[in-house]
């Protein structure tokens, strides 16, 4: 075969379009949910969910998703990636129906967990199929388009969610997934070829169970501590128990001959550095997304649809810059591009520490655009570096690790930064609530959503309560934003120390695997 011959599938760009549609349904769901949080907290128009229940409505999906990605990446490689994509889409659609008609926060959390199972079957195989149908010389560009699709979903989700919430009941934000799933199933069946790993590994049942138990325990402890305080033994038992189980998971993965996560991969800088960057950025960004929705809808008084439109610059920036990031990496090197992206992201996240109730809204729009620009120049080069560290037939492993770290970091970001937000808010607002009736005092002390709900029952005293709640929330938001920016800034140190610079291989040459002996241990 000529070295200049393209080894990609003849329909690879059409296949990429189908994979983008499949990806949209997974990302769309979480971005829609961010806009619906205030409505879900409303006891009349929603489910009356508490701050902790709102965090779990996000994290039940994310934790199941992350816990199963390892296994589903391997199973997709073994049983067929196209088959797994179809199964995941159907399951995701059915779980969306259950979420739409949930009658309580507990039912919604359970249905969202089932959606996580479907999402775990969808996400890793989309990247795996890209790695298999594209020539290595085109893979960076294809992954840039794939990452741009995330930006598209970020754009569509809040706007679509806001429009639905203004005209229909809250369940419509989940029901909208069903037609997208139906379209995806038809197109996948018609266009996507089947592919498998010719030498698959065995399923790591023990590793999967350990990872799920450890992640759920750790995140439960963080969320519960943020909601009810960190002074109770149960909270620390969950946190320390989760850390211990995850340490056991790592030790087990090092010993077993069929690991779901080959921890030796983290000795490869081209693999480990971008994984760390993805984790740090999504930890910070998802936490900020969580509280910025409350800021825009409650403190600033925007409707769900207006809030969705205000998130548009974040998505537009990703749509503009993500597809061209591969060319930037070829010209300047992954280290330089990722560093610039991280600096922009840190500045944007840190800016929320200075935003208040009177900040001109155009400033917030610029901040969102900066954040989108920064993330658009981090994710594609990081993802390409991770995927190029493994051969095509092991693409499921790289995809699973990349997406697992992203989802776990996002869940922990919502949990940790949400806990900081809750703790600071509660400490600041409690002294002003002593003269309120018991029910209003309890609701207003839990969250800003509770304060606004309680204010509706107080008559002339309502404006004073809202002013106090807004001030407490803004103070809490500033602390959470500062912490988010500091965590994202750690990514700059990781990039400068370990991220590869310009490719050493000639332009157009396939990337070599740095430690080929790792490839067969998936």
With bands split at pLDDT 50, 70 and 90, how would you rate the model's confidence at 489? very high
pLDDT of residue 77: 74
Q: Give 252's Cβ-side CA count (13 Å radius).
A: 16
Cβ atoms of 414 and 58 closer than 8 Å:
yes
Name the H helices within 80-135. Answer: 81-100, 105-133
Higher pLDDT, 232 or 31: 232
pTM: 0.72
pLDDT of residue 514: 36
Q: How far is CA 101 from CA 92, 98, 214, in A?
A: 15, 5, 30
CA distance 203 to 207: 9
Cβ atoms of 389 and 514 closer than 8 Å:
yes
Higher pLDDT, 450 or 374: 374
The whole-number average pLDDT for the span 123-150 is 75
With bands split at pLDDT 50, 70 and 90, how would you rate the model's confidence at 4? low
Higher pLDDT, 130 or 114: 114
Of 154, 172, 269, 287, nearest to 219 (Cα)? 287
The whole-number average pLDDT for the span 98-123 is 88
Per DSSP, 295 falls in state: I
pLDDT tens readout for residues 374-390: 988 887 778 777 777 76
Minimum mean pLDDT range among 174-188, 231-245, 323-337, 487-501: 323-337
pLDDT of residue 508: 42
- Which burial class, exposed, middle or buried, applies to 15 when counting CB atoms under 10 A from its CB (0-12, 13-18, 19+)? buried
pLDDT of residue 360: 94
pLDDT of residue 151: 62
Per DSSP, 394 falls in state: G
pLDDT of residue 369: 93
How high does pLDDT run on average in the chain?
Answer: 79
Cβ atoms of 25 and 89 closer than 8 Å:
yes
Per DSSP, 516 falls in state: G
With bands split at pLDDT 50, 70 and 90, how would you rate the model's confidence at 66? low
CA distance 200 to 296: 48
CA distance 238 to 394: 35
CA distance 403 to 282: 11
DSSP character string of 38-70: HHHH-TTTS----HHHHHHHHHHHHHHHHHHHH
| Residue 470 reports pLDDT greater than 50 | yes
pLDDT of residue 481: 92
Alpha carbon distance, N-terminus to C-terminus of the chain: 28
pLDDT of residue 70: 67
pLDDT of residue 363: 94
Q: How big is the chain by its Cα radius of gyration, in Å?
A: 22
pLDDT of residue 506: 41
Residue 224 CB neighbour total at 10 angstroms: 21
Residue 4 CB neighbour total at 10 angstroms: 7
pLDDT of residue 485: 93
CA distance 479 to 474: 9
pLDDT of residue 498: 79
Cβ atoms of 395 and 131 closer than 8 Å:
yes
Residue 505 CB neighbour total at 10 angstroms: 11
Higher pLDDT, 364 or 78: 364
Minimum mean pLDDT range among 69-78, 186-195, 269-278, 419-428: 69-78
| Residue 510 reports pLDDT greater than 70 | no
pLDDT of residue 248: 94
276-314 burial by CB neighbour count: b if 16+ within 10 A, else e? bbbbbbbbbbbbbbbbbbbbbbbbbebbbbbbbbbbbbb
With bands split at pLDDT 50, 70 and 90, how would you rate the model's confidence at 500? low
Minimum mean pLDDT range among 268-282, 382-396, 401-415: 382-396
Q: How far is CA 472 from CA 299, 428, 436, 479, in A?
A: 11, 5, 17, 11
Max avg pLDDT among 254-263, 287-296, 507-516: 287-296
**Phi, psi values for residue 352, rounded to 5°:** -65, -15
**CA-CA-CA-CA torsion sign (254, 260, 264, 266):** negative
DSSP character string of 396-439: HHHHHHHHHHHHHHHHHHHHHHHHHHHHHHHHHHGGGGTTS-HH
Of 505, 285, 518, 485, nearest to 391 (Cα)? 518
Displacement of CA 368 from its chain's centroid (Å): 17
- Which burial class, exposed, middle or buried, applies to 478 when counting CB atoms under 10 A from its CB (0-12, 13-18, 19+)? middle
């Amino acid at each position: 075969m000529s070295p200049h011959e393209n080894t990609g599938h003849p329909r690879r760009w059409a296949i990429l379009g189908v994979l983008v549609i499949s990806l949209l349904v997974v990302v769309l769901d979480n971005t829609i949910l961010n806009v619906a949080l205030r409505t879900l907290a409303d006891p009349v128009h929603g489910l009356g969910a508490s701050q902790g229940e709102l965090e779990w409505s996000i994290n039940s999906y994310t934790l199941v998703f992350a816990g199963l990605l390892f296994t589903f990446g391997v199973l997709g490689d073994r049983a067929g990636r196209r088959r797994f994509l179809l199964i995941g889409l159907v399951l995701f659609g059915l779980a969306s129906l259950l979420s739409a008609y949930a009658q309580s926060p507990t039912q919604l959390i359970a249905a969202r967990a089932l959606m996580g199972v479907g999402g775990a079957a969808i996400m890793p195989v989309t990247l795996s199929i890209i790695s298999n149908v594209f020539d290595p010389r085109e893979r960076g560009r294809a992954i840039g388009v794939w990452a741009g699709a995330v930006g598209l979903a970020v754009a569509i989700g809040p706007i679509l969610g806001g429009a639905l919430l203004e005209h229909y009941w809250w369940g419509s934000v989940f029901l909208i997934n069903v037609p997208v799933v139906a379209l995806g199933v038809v197109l996948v069946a018609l266009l996507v070829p089947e592919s498998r790993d010719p030498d698959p590994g065995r399923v790591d049942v023990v590793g999967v169970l350990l990872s799920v138990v450890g992640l759920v325990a750790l995140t439960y402890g963080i969320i519960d501590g943020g909601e009810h305080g960190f002074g109770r033994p149960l909270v620390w038992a969950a946190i320390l128990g989760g850390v211990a189980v995850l340490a056991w998971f790592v030790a087990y993965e090092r010993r077993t001959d069929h690991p779901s996560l080959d921890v030796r991969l983290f000795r490869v800088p081209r693999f480990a550095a971008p994984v760390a960057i993805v984790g740090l950025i999504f930890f910070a960004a998802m936490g900020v997304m969580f509280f910025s929705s409350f800021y825009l809808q409650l403190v600033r008084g925007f409707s769900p649809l207006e809030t969705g439109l205000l998130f548009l610059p974040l998505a537009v920036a990703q749509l503009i810059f993500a597809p061209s990031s591969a060319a930037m990496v070829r010209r300047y090197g992954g280290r330089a591009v990722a560093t610039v992206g991280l600096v922009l992201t840190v500045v944007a996240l840190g800016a929320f520490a200075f935003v208040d109730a009177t900040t001109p809204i155009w400033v917030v729009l610029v901040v969102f655009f900066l954040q989108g620009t920064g993330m658009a120049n981090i994710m594609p080069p990081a993802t390409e570096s991770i995927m190029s560290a493994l051969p095509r037939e092991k693409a499921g492993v790289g995809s699973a690790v990349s997406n697992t770290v992203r989802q776990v970091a996002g869940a922990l970001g919502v949990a940790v930064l949400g806990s900081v937000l809750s703790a600071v808010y509660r400490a600041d607002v409690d002294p002003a609530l002593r003269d309120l009736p018991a029910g209003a005092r309890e609701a207003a002390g839990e969250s800003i959503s509770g304060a606004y709900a309680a204010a509706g029952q107080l008559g002339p005293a309502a404006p004073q309560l809202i002013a106090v709640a807004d001030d407490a929330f803004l103070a809490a938001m500033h602390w959470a934003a500062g912490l988010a920016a500091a965590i994202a800034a750690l990514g700059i140190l990781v990039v400068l120390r370990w991220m590869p610079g310009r490719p050493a291989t000639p332009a157009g040459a396939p990337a070599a695997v740095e430690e080929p002996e790792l490839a067969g241990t998936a």
